[in-house]
């Protein structure tokens, strides 16, 4: 479609604020069209972004993005904001190499208030900004936009508790796209909801409260009485107790229709100058304006490129996630003590079918990784084998719980770490590059990094049925570079032994960890063309390092190189070096890993190149090292 409003150079904050109701409606339609066309080509977070178009337009009609701070929780819903804050011309580069990020990024735009990507952080960050504003004597507004899903994370309630206690001036927008509005009880209900967010009501409320406060003890008593009467009539009308947010110290307003810009603007204007913390409850629909996303918002939460007309995605390949899901169901069928746990990622971790097949042995705890891990510890001490399926980068949030509630007690909890290594277009906040390092530091922890689907099945079977303490099985996003899916190995010990991938000569040894063995093997082939012949050993068992078996395969080849898709510090290369050196000091071991984990959106292949751990880079480094040695 041809845009009437989007892309205009004069679309300043003042211009947005002065738009007519008709132009705002046109702008929302243009934003949806731009988002749909870009995401269908590049992939991205679709349903959540389509659901907040009107809310974003309303926010930017009331607040000045050049000085006010708007913090989007997670950032899944920031596309409209990006387009309207100077990134229209670059939006087609969304989530591509050198392009703009799918999440708010401070180094991308001065109008992005905070880097986000993980859940439940917005209120804490915004409260810090509000306090900084007050310390500096400034008068800008601070707004946190958080979804109902993110409110399942405990960090959000820690922030709300602090905010309500301190009474710091700021606004929290609760973007509720799951729960429906309370049942309609007639025109009076609608009138009171509208009245509650009207400027006249709020002005009268503030004037009355100010007058009563001046009456001292008597006035404060009257305020309590009025609040009790208000809550009583609210209970009669809605059959519900007062808002828990008010109990926590926030002034609650709403619900407001999140797809009516006029109502949203009226509500925001009415509350923005109140000195106390405000929570506005906004009701939106995920996927709004695109039928496939409206009907199946989970399928269009994070989506790859798809056909805009049909909604069908363009990638039908098998993947590590589906291999994990199939293996877990097969194992759970035979072992009734196996239970699965998700942190609001049932579909993303492949557990949707498991949850239907074993409904009593599946628990989705919401976006609460800390709770998931400690609850798993409770299941483990009670005789069950919990499998916590979680993205690698999200498990970082439960670091303390893993140590104290699982590892110290040597509880048999299996951590299935999806998205280990580079994840591609979601960028550095979602890369699973730190797990090998932090897991290596945990007492009693066993770590597997399977190379392909069969190896993943074997490692998972060993972790569940052969181990008695904490075990992590890390596997990457996407498809295996090797063989197709297959049955469990007959030999249960196969995954705990080093695997000799190739043996060409005695010039060098490469020890690779997990999927990146494909790059190691390519590097060996390249080096062979230059007359350098070596061995390639692949490890599935990363901790404890099978040092004696490694030495048996390496023999007296002194030049050893390790390769992993993780950060260098504390990674598997360092642990291999340490453990091998305890048994023999003849080896010169060099580790190739990620030295700078802040590698932005691109394809995983490009990210490997940027990190210098792709086949070409590895071959060049080894060639240079061997040349120097000779």
45, β-bridge pairs? 302
What CA–CA distance (Å, rounded) separates 523 from 530?
Answer: 11
Is 579 annotated in the active site? no
Task: Name the residue with tokens 């603007």.
Answer: 265
Q: Looking at 82, 95, 169, 397, which residue is catalytic?
A: 397
Q: Looking at 369, 401, 519, 564, which residue is catalytic?
A: 369
What CA–CA distance (Å, rounded) separates 610 from 590?
Answer: 19
Is 69 annotated in the active site? no
Q: Looking at 87, 95, 286, 600, which residue is catalytic?
A: 286
Is 286 annotated in the active site? yes
Task: Name the residue with tokens 């809310």.
Answer: 55
CA distances from 559 to 527, 562, 565 (A): 14, 10, 21
Main-chain phi, psi angles of 67, to 5 degrees: -135, -30
Helices (H), 4-147: 13-17, 21-42, 47-51, 53-62, 79-82, 122-136
What CA–CA distance (Å, rounded) separates 448 from 475?
Answer: 9
- Which segments of 106-204 are extended strands (E)? 142-147, 171-176
Residues with Cβ within 8 Å of residue 425, at least 6 apart in sequence: 42, 43, 44, 95, 96, 102, 601, 602, 603
Residues with Cβ within 8 Å of residue 618, at least 6 apart in sequence: 510, 519, 520, 523, 561, 563, 592
- The encoded tokens of residue 535 equal 């061995």
- For strands 559-567 and 541-543, give the pairing: unpaired
Main-chain phi, psi angles of 174, to 5 degrees: -90, 105
Q: Count the Cβ atoms, other than its own, within 10 Å of residue 341.
A: 27
- Residues recognised as catalytic: 286, 369, 397
């Amino acid at each position: 479609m041809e845009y009437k409003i989007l892309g205009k150079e004069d679309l300043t904050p003042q211009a947005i604020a002065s738009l007519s109701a008709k132009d705002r409606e046109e702008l929302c339609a243009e934003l949806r069209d731009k988002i749909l066309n870009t995401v269908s080509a590049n992939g991205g977070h679709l349903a959540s972004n389509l659901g907040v178009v009107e809310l974003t337009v309303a926010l930017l009609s009331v607040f000045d993005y050049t000085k006010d701070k708007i913090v989007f929780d997670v950032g899944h819903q920031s596309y409209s904001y990006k387009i309207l804050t100077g990134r229209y011309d670059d939006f087609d580069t969304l989530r591509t190499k050198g392009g703009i990020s799918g999440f708010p990024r401070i180094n991308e735009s001065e109008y992005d208030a905070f880097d986000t990507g993980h859940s439940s952080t917005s209120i804490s960050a915004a409260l810090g900004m509000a306090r900084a504003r007050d310390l500096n004597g400034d008068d800008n507004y601070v707004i946190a936009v958080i979804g109902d899903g993110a409110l399942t994370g405990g960090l959000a309630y820690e922030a709300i508790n602090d905010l309500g206690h301190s009474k710091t001036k700021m606004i929290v927008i609760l973007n509720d796209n799951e729960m429906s509005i309370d049942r309609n009880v007639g025109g009076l209900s609608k009138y009171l909801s509208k009245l509650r967010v009207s400027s006249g009501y709020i002005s009268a409320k503030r004037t009355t409260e100010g007058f009563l406060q001046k009456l001292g003890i008597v006035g404060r008593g009257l305020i309590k009485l009025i609040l009790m009467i208000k809550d009583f009539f609210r209970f009669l009308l809605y059959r519900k107790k007062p808002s828990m947010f008010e109990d926590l110290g926030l002034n609650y307003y709403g619900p407001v229709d999140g797809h009516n810009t006029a109502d949203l603007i009226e509500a925001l204007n009415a509350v923005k100058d109140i000195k106390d913390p405000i929570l506005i409850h906004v009701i939106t629909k995920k996927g709004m304006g695109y039928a496939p996303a409206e009907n199946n918002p989970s399928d269009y939460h994070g989506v790859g490129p798809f056909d805009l007309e049909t909604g069908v995605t363009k990638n039908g390949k098998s993947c590590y996630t589906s291999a994990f899901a199939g293996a877990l169901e097969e194992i759970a069928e035979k072992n009734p003590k196996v239970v699965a746990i998700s942190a609001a990622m049932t579909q993303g971790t492949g557990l949707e079918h498991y949850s239907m097949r074993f409904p009593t042995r599946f628990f989705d705890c919401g976006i609460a990784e800390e709770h998931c891990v400690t609850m798993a510890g409770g299941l483990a001490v009670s005789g069950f084998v919990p499998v916590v399926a979680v993205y690698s980068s999200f498990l970082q949030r439960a670091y303390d719980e893993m140590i104290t509630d699982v590892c110290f007690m040597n509880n048999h909890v299996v951590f299935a770490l999806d998205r280990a290594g580079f994840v591609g277009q979601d960028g550095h906040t979602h890369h699973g590059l730190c797990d090998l390092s932090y897991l290596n530091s945990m007492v009693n922890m066993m770590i597997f990094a399977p190379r392909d689907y069969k190896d993943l099945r074997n490692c998972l079977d060993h972790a569940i049925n052969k181990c008695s303490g904490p075990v992590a099985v890390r596997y990457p996003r996407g498809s295996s570079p090797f063989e197709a899916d297959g049955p469990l190995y007959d030999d249960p010990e196969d995954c705990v032994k080093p695997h000799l991938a190739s043996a060409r000569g005695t010039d060098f040894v490469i020890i690779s960890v997990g999927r990146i063995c494909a790059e190691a093997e390519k590097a060996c082939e390249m080096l062979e063309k230059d007359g350098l012949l070596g061995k390639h050993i692949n490890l599935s068992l990363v901790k404890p390092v099978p040092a004696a078996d490694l030495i048996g395969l390496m023999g007296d080849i002194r030049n050893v190189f390790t390769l992993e898709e993780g950060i260098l510090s504390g990674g598997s290369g360092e642990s291999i070096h340490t453990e091998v050196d305890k048994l023999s000091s003849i080896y010169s071991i060099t580790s190739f890993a990620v030295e700078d984990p802040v590698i932005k959106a691109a394809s995983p292949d490009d990210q490997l190149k940027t990190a210098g751990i792709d086949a070409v880079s590895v071959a060049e480094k080894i060639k240079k090292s061997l040349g120097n040695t000779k």
